[in-house]
Structure 1
Amino acid sequence: MAVSTINRQDNQPVYVLHTYPFKETSLVVELLTRDFGRVAAVAKGARRPRSAMRGMLQSFQPLLGTWSGKAELKSLHSLEWGSGLLLLKGEALMCGFYLNELMLRLLPREDAHEGLFDYYAQTLKTLSANAHYATTLRRFELKMLQEMGYAVPLTEDEAAVEVVAAQSYVYVAERGACAESTKDGVSLIGKTLLDMARDDYTDPKTQLQSKQLMRVLLAHYLGDKPLHTRQLLVDLQGL
């Protein structure tokens, strides 16, 4: 079997999450793929001025990618434009980079999450179409953790008792809403959790407390190394 046909995948839906130099003229491309999860592949010669692939390596654009290889680092053979090109500008662009960094940090390689891929595509369209950036980010953060299998219970507390809208809780990562006071976690009211479960972020208090909650949960799973784009968003608009 020829090397180029080993585990070859043709014209798969992909997004470019990140690129970085590899040797003198090539790039490593981190791809988000629908059916194969996060895939790293070498785009040979992509740093050369006349490379046909160089202009295709744009984040946030739906692409069709072809690659092959059995090792963790694949060979990227081609990219083609998908449908519905997007334009992200200003804060929307920064939000897009934040989503990409979040997935680079949390998504293991070659672990498919078809639902997350589709939601990412829809979130990019939402960012390009309206300015409700903070709410859009909260929805994606929650969806991502849920799709990856992290427990984020919203309608029941840690004792499996239904959350009460008017009651105060402390939400602790991997435990959920705690009715008793604890030094760990985020203080919030039950209504915030119920609103998040209903995907309703119209209440300003829900917006604030959901941001605090997701920041603590993500920090728990990300570990000691903070997201670069998170700080940029905070500096911009407190997103």
Structure 2
Amino acid sequence: MLAAGRVYAMTCQPAFILHSRPYKESSALADFLTPQGRLRAVLRAARGRAGSPARPFVPLELELRGRGELKTVARLESSGIPYWLTGASLFAALYLNELLIRLLPAEDPHPPLFEHYALTLDALAGGRPLEPLLRAFEWRLLAELGYGFSLDRDRHGRPVHAGSLYRLLPDAGLEPVEQLQPGLFRGGELLAMGEADWQFPGALAAAKRLMRQALAPHLGGRPLVSRELFTTLKESSRD
């Protein structure tokens, strides 16, 4: 993690805007995802400026200046074609952004996570199936933050067996259980998740439940706005 009070050099780095909100008279306060982590900075005279690249899902080049956690944007330019996202793909990408804002500590570098995020946006824009992409990103985020766990070994180090039942202990890993109870996972589903074998019966639905259980302790009990919007969109599409 970067030391508090460090002066940022005017070094250009790739970035995406995760979220921005009005700040003072005409500026915006923006959260950026960069290889150096999530960075918060003031974007001066950002509101009402035609053609501004200061919007989500646009590859950017970013330069910052200042001390402490809150920086000032010195330069912000588009560095590529914006990812065209609509409907469910847009809500899925907003979900990724909200996860990163809620869970990724400020100024904690994760270059592989930045690359994975860009690849996921590209896949979403290309029309790839949403659920496998979301599960892969959630899994990568948990692993990068140090909350990952094995899918082929239980918390005692023993191999996961396809015919056995397991429950997730978020801080410890998979615990084998003998009796059927709510929220359990079959070993075959867990092994299929580890291989990203989404053709295995029930693996994709089980992966969604598993990731919700794994993420819940780190979200602090507050619901995800993007998840609620996504659910509303799916329900309205059935009407």
Tell me the TM-score normalised to structure 1 length: 0.90
The 2-side partners of 1:116 and 1:24 are apart by: 34
The 2-side partners of 1:25 and 1:174 are apart by: 44
Q: How big is the shift at 1:185?
A: 8.1
Q: Which amino acid aligns with 2:42?
A: V
For these two proteins, the number of residue pairs brought into alignment is 230
- Whether the 8 Å CA contact 2:165–2:178 is kept in 1: the answer is no
- Whether the 8 Å CA contact 2:166–2:187 is kept in 1: the answer is yes
* Cα 1:184–1:159 shift into 2, 3 Å: farther
For residues 192-207 of structure 1, the aligned pairs below 5 Å read 192-207=189-204
Query: Identity of counterpart residues, as a percentage?
Result: 35
For residues 33-48 of structure 1, the aligned pairs below 5 Å read 33-34=34-35, 36-47=36-47
Q: Which amino acid aligns with 1:161?
A: R
Which runs of structure 1 show a deviation greater than 6 angstroms over 4 or more consecutive aligned residues? Answer: 182-185
Q: How big is the shift at 1:15?
A: 0.3
Q: Which amino acid aligns with 2:199?
A: T
What is the match of residue 87 of structure 2? 90
Q: Which amino acid aligns with 1:28?
A: L
The 1-side partners of 2:182 and 2:145 are apart by: 21
- Whether the 8 Å CA contact 1:69–1:75 is kept in 2: the answer is yes
What is the match of residue 122 of structure 1? 119
Q: Which amino acid aligns with 1:152?
A: F
Q: Which amino acid aligns with 1:63?
A: L
The 2-side partners of 1:232 and 1:209 are apart by: 22
- Whether the 8 Å CA contact 2:65–2:72 is kept in 1: the answer is yes
The 2-side partners of 1:95 and 1:187 are apart by: 26
The 2-side partners of 1:128 and 1:235 are apart by: 21
The 2-side partners of 1:224 and 1:131 are apart by: 30
Query: Of residues 168, 173, 176 in structure 1, which corresponds to 2:170?
Result: 173
Query: Of residues 62, 73, 77 in structure 1, which corresponds to 2:74?
Result: 77
What is the match of residue 211 of structure 2? 214
Q: How big is the shift at 1:183?
A: 10
Q: How big is the shift at 1:186?
A: 3.1
* Cα 1:78–1:93 shift into 2, 3 Å: same
2:144 counterpart of 1:155 = no
Q: How big is the shift at 1:135?
A: 1.3
What is the match of residue 23 of structure 1? 24
- Whether the 8 Å CA contact 2:32–2:40 is kept in 1: the answer is yes
- Whether the 8 Å CA contact 1:185–1:216 is kept in 2: the answer is no
Q: How big is the shift at 1:184?
A: 9.3
- Whether the 8 Å CA contact 1:16–1:32 is kept in 2: the answer is yes
Tell me the TM-score normalised to structure 2 length: 0.90
The 2-side partners of 1:79 and 1:223 are apart by: 33
Q: Which amino acid aligns with 2:54?
A: L
Q: How big is the shift at 1:10?
A: 2.6
Q: Give the stretch that moved more between structures: 225-234 or 114-123.
A: 225-234
* Cα 1:183–1:200 shift into 2, 3 Å: closer
* Cα 1:43–1:187 shift into 2, 3 Å: same
Q: Give the stretch that moved more between structures: 95-104 or 126-135.
A: 126-135
CA RMSD of aligned residues (A): 2.1
Q: How big is the shift at 1:175?
A: 2.0
The 2-side partners of 1:70 and 1:79 are apart by: 18
Q: Which amino acid aligns with 2:52?
A: G
What is the match of residue 232 of structure 2? 235
